[in-house]
Amino acid sequence: MATPDLHHTAATLATMLAFHCVRNSSLEDLHAGIFPSSQTGDYTDVKVVSPYGEIAWNRVSRISDEEMQRLSADIVNRLYTFLFYMLTSGEPDRGLPLPHHWAPPHIEASIAAMWPEGRNPTSDPKHA
């Protein structure tokens, strides 16, 4: 069974990876811009106008295949670089700032299920 220290270390590392390698990646470029408002709150009143007609907001893809490929490559390169230097050199000499407004991470069942011990929900400290 994992110790509380291991859960804390995994939570800190997961937050570092998400913040430095995913959130601060080319995902920021996709996040930039104006997001529509909805009077109904469910976005059924929002439409995208294209040369081929209107598309309901709830049916619009928010990211193109090309953008997804660039994003995936960027994230893999950032994760690789982060992990390479973390594993070979330890924590950076300037430290690693972490976001303070994010919710704490939890065990994601679909990933945990890849390991036999991860198929037990009590491996997540919030269920212990």
Tell me the pLDDT tens digit for each residue of 70-104: 999 999 999 999 899 888 888 777 777 788 888 98
Single pTM value for the model: 0.73
Domain ranges of the chain: 4-123
pLDDT (tens digit per residue) in 12-67: 889 989 988 898 888 888 888 888 999 999 999 999 999 999 999 999 988 889 99
Three-state SS annotation for 15-47: HHHHHHHHHCCCHHHHHCCCCCCCCCCCCCCCE
Tokens encoding 71: 């994003």
Q: Judge contact between 105 and 15, C-beta under 8 A.
A: yes
